[in-house]
Amino acid sequence: MNIKHEAMTIVKARKLMPVFFQLLLFLMILSANRSYGQEVKISAKEMSLESVFSVVEKQTGLITMYSNDELDAKKRKQFAKRNYDLEDLYTFLLKGEKLRFEITKKYVIIKPILPEKIQESAQPRKETEIVIGKVVDGSGQATPGVTVTLKGTKIATSSDYGGNFKLTIPKDDNYAPAFVFSIIGKPAIERFFYGDKNWVVQLKDGESEISEVVVTGFQRINKRELTSAINTVKVEDIWRPDVSSIDQMLEGQVPDMMFMSNSGEVGVVPRLRIRGTSSLIGNREPLWVVDGIVVQDPVKISPEELNDPDYINRIGNAIAGLNPQDIERLDVLKDASATALYGTKAANGVIVITTKRGRKGRPVVQYGNAMTYKIRPRYTDRSVNLMNSKERIQFSKDLLSVQYRYPSVISWVGYEGLLRRLYNREIDDATFDREVQSLETMNTDWFSLLTEDSFSHQHTLSMSGGSDQSRYYASIGYSMNNDVVKSNKNDRYSAILNLDTEFNKWLSASFGLNGNVNSRDYYQQRIAPMDYAYNTSRAIPAYASDGEYAFYERNVAALYGYDFNILNELENSSYEQNVSALTVNTNLRFKISDWLTGNAIAAYTTTSTGIENYWGEKTFYAASLRSSNFGTKAPSNSLMPQGGEWGQENYRNNSYTVRLQLDANKYFGEENKHNVSGGLGYEMASTRYVGNSSISRGYYKDRGKSFVSNVNIVDYAAYGNWLSNNVPQLKDDLNNLMSFYGTATYGYKRLFYVNANGRVDGSNRFGSSSNRKFLPIWSVSGSFNASELGLFDRVDWLDFLTFKASYGYQGNMLDSESPILIIKKNPLDSYYGEYTATANNNPNPNLKWEKTNSTNFGTELSLFNNKVQIEGSLYFKRTKEAFMQKTISTINGRNSYVINSGDVSNNGYSVALTLSPVKKEDWRWTFTTSFSRTINTLKSRPDAEQYELTNFLNGTALIKDKAVGTFYSYRFLGLSATDGGPLFDDYEDRADQLVGLSKYDTYTTVLDASGNREPLMAGGLNTSLRYKQFRVSAIMAYSLGAHTRLFGIYANAASPTMSADEIRPENNVSRYFLDRWQKPGDERYTNIPAIINPSSATFYKYKDHFSEMRDNVQTIATNYWDMYDYSDLRVVSANYLKLSSLSFTYELPTLWLKKYALSRLALSLTGNNLYTWSAKELRGQTPTQGGFTTIQLSDRPSFSFGINVSF
C-alpha cells in the first residue's frame, strides 16, 4: 500500500472534519425547529385498531402502548380518507372511548380519562398516591425510555432522560401494587412497590441490552454516553483452551491492536502494540489493570529487551498468573480521553480486566475442564525444508569432489569423520563403505528426540450466588501446560474471591482476594533445542550401539574440544522459575445523596519470584569451564575444577495503591434533559522492588545439593581469581507516585455529551526542575448521538448512530533516568586499602517528558434491531521530544546519553463489523470482523553514529521517514556466470562516494529498506452458529504488511557455528543447496550460489569485502555469503491468515439433567492453530519464524476436549 497516498488521504479527512460537524449542527437546528406533526397514510377502507397501530409504527417509528383491559384492539374502524395527521388519527380512533393519548418521543401512550374528570360531581374522589422512582441498568446507570405500567390497569408513563418516573395511582392499604417495566424488544419485568420514598428499579444484565457499559477502572460508563475510544471484549467470545493466559487470546480480536509472537513455546508473552509505537527507547507495552488496580510485571525487564523483536519473554508479565476462567471481560482503552486518568503510565494504552463477581440467586457451583493434545513438529511438516541423511551425505561428497578445504575448528563426524578415519588408516575401504551406507539411512529424528506430542489440562471450580445485600464469587484453578519441547512445562495454581456487600442504603463494600502460584520449567537458552533440530545433520547418531549417548567432539578452539550430546545437555541442566503473587483490595462506596457518591479504594500486592539455573558437571558447558571432559582431571587453568554451576535470582515486588474518589451524576431541567457527571480523585501508589542474583560453582545437585569446599586455589589460580571477583548482585528500587485527577461530562437529552479529563502525576523518578516534577495530562472529548434527532424518528431500521471526537495530551518518563548523580558505594579496595565509589547513574537533570498529542474521531452505528453493528475510528498521534540515545565521548564516563530529540507519528484507522443475521429461538448466527491499519513514521533523524550495521540488518535501527522496525538488506544482482558467486550493488565501483560518511549515511545509502518486522495491518474474523443445543464457533486472525527473512543458508543468519567458508560436518543443510549453481549457465535458472573451495583463488574474491580494506569507509560487510543471507532476495512477505480455533459444543437438554441435579452440562471439541495460509516463498518456515536469529518453535496445532458442568 502507498503510505504517502494513505497519509494524504488522512490529511484530507482531517480537513473535512469541520465541514462534517457543521453538517451535524445543521441537522440539530433542523431537528429543533421541526414540527412534531406527522402524517400517516391508511391504505385500506377498514382496519382493526391493532393493524392501525402497526402501520403507525412502520411509518413513524412510534410504538402504541395500551392495556388490553381498557381497549379492544380487535375493534375495526372505517376510514373515509387516506391521509391523517397523527393527532387527528388517534382522536378519531379513540372517539367514544373513555381514553386519551399522549405522544412522546418514541411512544403513543393510551391512557384512561381519570374517573374524577368524568363524574367529578357525581361521586367522591378516590384517594390516590404518587409513586416516584428511577430505572437504572445493571451498572446503576440511568435508563430512559422504559415504560412503567401499573399492572392490570391503563395507568402508565415512561422514564425520562435521567431514568426518573412519576405516576399517580389509586391508593389501597390492603395490597402492594405491582408495576410492569418494559422496553421495546425486551421481555417485561414485574416489581412490587412497598412505599419506598426513593424507589430504584434495576434492570439486571441480560434483561436489557441497553445496560451495556464499558469499564475504565475509574468509572463504569453507559456505552451510549461514551466519548472515548474503548473496545470491549467478552472472554467467552475469544476463549481458547490451548493457552493459559488471556493476552495469548487477543490475536486479531481488538481493533487498533497489533499482536506479535515469535515463539510457540508455552508461557511465552506476546508483544502487543495499541495504535502504533509512541516511545522509541521506552517501554512500548500497554498497561494492565485488574479490577481498577494497576498490576506490575513480576520481574523488571529493561525496555531494550522488551522492544527487541527477537527477545523471547519466558518470565511472564503482570497477568500471567491470572486464570482466564475468572475473567469476565476486557476493556481496551485506546485514545487519550480513555487513558488520561491513568497518567504517565498509560502512554501505550490500557487493558482493563474485570474479574467475575457474584450474582443474586441460589449458590451455583461450576466446574470447567479442558484437556489439550498438542502435536510436535516433524520433518514431514511443510514448514521444515531440511536434507535427510542421504542428501546430506551426497552434499558432503560434492564438497569432496571440489576438494573443499574444511576449517581448522571442526567436529569430525558423519561422512567427513569416516573419511578422516579412512585417510588415517583407522578403518579399511570395506568398513568405510559399510559405515557410509549406514549413515545414508540413519536419518536421526532430532524432532522426535527433542520434542514430543504433549498432553495438557486445565481445571476450574467456582461457586457464586448471593442475596440483595451480599453476593460472592469464589474460584480455584489448576493448569498444567506441557510443551512439545520436552524440557518445558508450566504449572499454575490460582484462587480468587470477590465479595460485594450492601450494609445499608448509603454504604456498600467490595472485597477481593486474588492469589496464584506459577511454576515454569525451561531448557537453558544456550542449548536451543529447536535451533539444534533444524541445524544439525541427521547423519549424526544420538545413541551409540550400546544404547548410551553418542558423543562427538565439539571444538571450542583449533586444537581442542569437548564431548557433546544435546540429550546429555538437557538431562544435566535446568532452568526453573517459581512465582507467587497475592493481591488484596477493598472498595468502600458511600452514597451521599441520589446524585453524589464516594469511593475509598485500597489495594496491596506482593509478588515473589525465584529463578534457578543449573549446569551439571557432565555438560559440555561445564567441560568448557573445567577445560576437560567429564571424568578427567581439570588442568590448572580451569575456571571450575569440580562440580557444576548453579545460579539463582530472587525478586520481591511489593506495591500498594490508595485512591479516594468523589463522583457526581446529576439530572435536572424539564424531563431531566440535562445531565452533569464527573469525579475528583486522589491517588497514592508506591512500589518497592528488591532483588539479588548470584552464580556459584562446584555444585553437586545429585549429592544433596551440596558445594565443593576443598578446592586448592593455589593449584587453580584462575578459579581463585574468579571466586575473588564473584559477588552477588543486589537491586533495591523504590518508586513513589502521587496523583490528582478529575473528570467532568455534560449531556443533553442523550443527544450529545462533552467530556474533559485531567491528571497530574508527581514522582520521585521525574526531573529535578520544579516544572518537570509534575506533568499535567488532559483530554477533551465529545459525542453526538444522531439517532436521537427527531429527523430519524421515521427511520425504523436505525437503532443507534453516534459520532465521537477527542483530543488529548500525554507524557512519559523513563524509569532508568535520574535527575541526580547516583553513587554506588563499593567495598574496601584491597589495593588502595580504602573504600571506593563509582557512578552508577549519571545525572540527567535536563531530560524532559516525551509528549504525545492524540486526536481521535470515531463512529458507531447499529441497524435493524442490532442485527448490524459497525464501528470505525480514525486517529492521529504525534510524539515530540521523544527519548533517543546520543553517542558521546567516553571521556564523560559513558558512551551514550538520553536526550529529547525524537519526533514520531502514528496515524491509522480501524473498522469493526458485527452481524447477527439470524436471531431465533432455535437458530442464532453471529459474525464479527475487524480491520486495523497503522502508519508509523519517525520524523526526526537519530544520531549518526548510534547504530551499527547489525542494527540496520535486524530492524532495531531507527531511520528518519521510516517506521519503527524497518530492516535493511543488501541489493542482490544475481550470480556470477563464471564461478556462481553472489553479486551485489555494494558501491564498490563508486566507493569514493562513501568516503567520510557516517554509519547512518553509509548504511542508508548502500542498503535498501526491505520492509517492517511489525505488521502494518491486522484483524480477525469470528463466527458462531447455534442450533438448539449445538454450537459451532470459529476464530481466525490475520496479519498484513510485515516482512521476514528466510532462514539463512550461510553465515551467522543460519548458525553462530557455521559460515560459508566453514561448512561443518555436524550441521544440516537446507534443501536450497540441491538447486545451487554448479556450472556456467546455471545462473539463468537458480539464485543459490555455488560452493566454492576455500583453497581456490576464487574463494578469496568473496571471503573478504572491499570496505574492510578502504580507509575512511565504514565496514559494509565481512564477506559476500553474509551479504547473501541478508540480501533483499531472502526477504519475503510475512502476511498470514490463521485458523486459530474451530470449536464444536453440545449443551445437554435441561430435562435430561434435572434427575441428576445438574443445571448445565456442555461438551466441547476444539481444534487450535489448525492451518495458516501464508506466502508460498516461505518454504521451510512459518511467517512468525525469521532468519534474524535463533530458530524458535512455531505455533503448534492442537486438539482440546472440554467439559463444563453446573450444579
For 682-715, the pLDDT digits (tens) are 999 999 999 999 999 999 998 889 999 888 888 9
pLDDT of residue 585: 95
Strand locations in 786-894, DSSP E? 798-812, 822-829, 834-841, 850-863, 868-887
Nearest to 1146 by CA among 1005, 1013, 1031: 1031
Higher confidence at residue 601 or residue 894?
A: 601
Cβ(192)–Cβ(177) under 8 Å?
yes
Predicted pLDDT of residue 600:
96
Would you state the pLDDT for residue 1062? 67
What pLDDT sits at residue 3? Answer: 43
Tell me what pLDDT residue 21 has.
Answer: 42
Q: Determine the pLDDT at residue 762.
A: 77
**DSSP-derived 3-state class of residue 36:** coil
Question: pLDDT value at position 185?
Answer: 45
User: Would you say residue 1054 has pLDDT above 50?
Assistant: no
Residue 717 has a pLDDT of 92
What is the spatial distance between Cα 914 and Cα 1023, in angstroms, rounded to a whole number?
9
**For residues 84-100, average pLDDT:** 83
Per-residue pLDDT tens over the stretch 204-229: 544 334 346 788 888 888 787 889 99
Of 690, 691, 610, 682, which is closest to residue 655 (Cα–Cα)? 690
Cα separation, 283 vs 813, in Å, equals 10
Q: Please choose, from the candidates 75, 69, 86, the residue with its C-alpha nearest in 3D space to the C-alpha of residue 155.
A: 69
Task: Answer with the residue of higher pLDDT: 403 or 908.
Answer: 908
Q: d(Cα 231, Cα 286) in Å, to the nearest integer?
A: 14
- Give residue-wise pLDDT tens across range 428-461: 999 999 999 999 999 999 999 999 999 999 999 9
Lowest-pLDDT range of 584-598, 757-771, 1071-1085: 757-771
Residue 1149: half-sphere exposure toward Cβ, Cα within 13 Å:
5
The CA distances from residue 183 to 180, 188, 918, in Å, are 10, 7, 21
Interatomic CA distance for residues 882 and 629, integer angstroms? 52
Cell of 133: 422512582
The predicted structure's pLDDT at residue 558: 65
Q: Which residues contact 51 (CB under 8 A, 6 or more apart)?
A: none
**Grid cell listed for 217:** 477502572
- Residue 1159: its pLDDT value, please? 86
Name which residue leads in pLDDT, 68 or 1195.
1195
Give the tens place of pLDDT for each residue, 727-739. Answer: 898 888 888 888 9
- How far, in Å, CA of 522 to CA of 92, rounded? 82
Residue 13 pLDDT class (50, 70, 90 cuts): very low
Class of domain 127-211: mainly beta
> Rounded to whole angstroms, how far apart are CA atoms 1122 and 412?
25
Q: How far apart are CA 10 and CA 16, in angstroms?
A: 10
Confidence of residue 174 (pLDDT cuts 50, 70, 90): low
How far is residue 542's CA from residue 537's CA, in Å, rounded to a whole number?
Answer: 11
- 627, amino acid identity: S
Residue with cell 574492510: 1108
What pLDDT, in 10s, does the model give residues 542-567?
999 899 999 999 888 767 889 999 99
Which among 137-146, 602-611, 891-900 has the top mean pLDDT? 602-611
- Cell numbers 435430561 correspond to 1152
What confidence score (pLDDT) does residue 69 get? 62
pLDDT at 501 over 90: yes
Give residue 597's identity as a one-letter amino acid code.
T
Give the per-residue pLDDT at 706: 92
Question: Which run of H or of E encompasses 329?
Answer: strand 327-333
pLDDT value of position 17 = 44
pLDDT tens digits, 470-498: 999 999 999 999 999 998 999 999 999 99
Residue 373 is inside which H or E element, if any?
strand 361-374
Write the pLDDT tens digit of every residue in 1090-1119.
888 877 888 888 888 999 888 899 999 988
User: What pLDDT was estimated at residue 772?
Assistant: 52
For the cut 60, the answer to whether the pLDDT of residue 970 exceeds it is yes
Task: Provide the mean pLDDT of the chain.
Answer: 86
pTM of the predicted model over 0.95: no
Summarize pLDDT for 126-141 with one digit per residue, the tens: 578 888 888 887 666 7
- pLDDT average, residue stretch 813-819: 75
pLDDT category at 994 given cuts 50, 70, 90 is very high
8 A C-beta contact, residue 530 and residue 522: no
Report domain 40-120's class.
Answer: alpha beta
Which residues, 6 or more positions from 154, have their beta carbon under 8 angstroms from its beta carbon? 66, 67, 69, 70, 71, 99, 110, 111, 112
- At residue 1, the pLDDT reads 41
CATH 2.170.130.10 fits 233-371, yes or no: yes
DSSP string, 616-667: -TTSHHHHHHHTS-TTSPPPTT-S-SSSEEEEEEEEEEEEEEEEEEEEEEEE
Q: Which residue has the cell 433542523?
A: 30
Q: pLDDT exceeding 90 applies to what percent of the chain?
A: 52
Beta strands in 523-643 (DSSP E): 552-555, 561-564, 573-591, 596-615
* pLDDT reading at 365 higher than 50: yes
Q: What is the pLDDT of residues 784-794, one digit of tens each?
A: 998 888 777 67
Least confident of 77-86, 643-652, 1056-1065: 1056-1065
**294: pLDDT strictly greater than 80:** yes
Mean pLDDT of 355-376: 92
> Residue 321: its pLDDT value, please?
92
Please check whether residue 1009 is in contact with residue 1114, taking contact to mean a CB–CB distance below 8 angstroms: no
**pLDDT score recorded for residue 773:** 57
Cβ–Cβ < 8 Å for 692, 729? yes
Look at residue 186 in the predicted model and tell me its pLDDT.
54
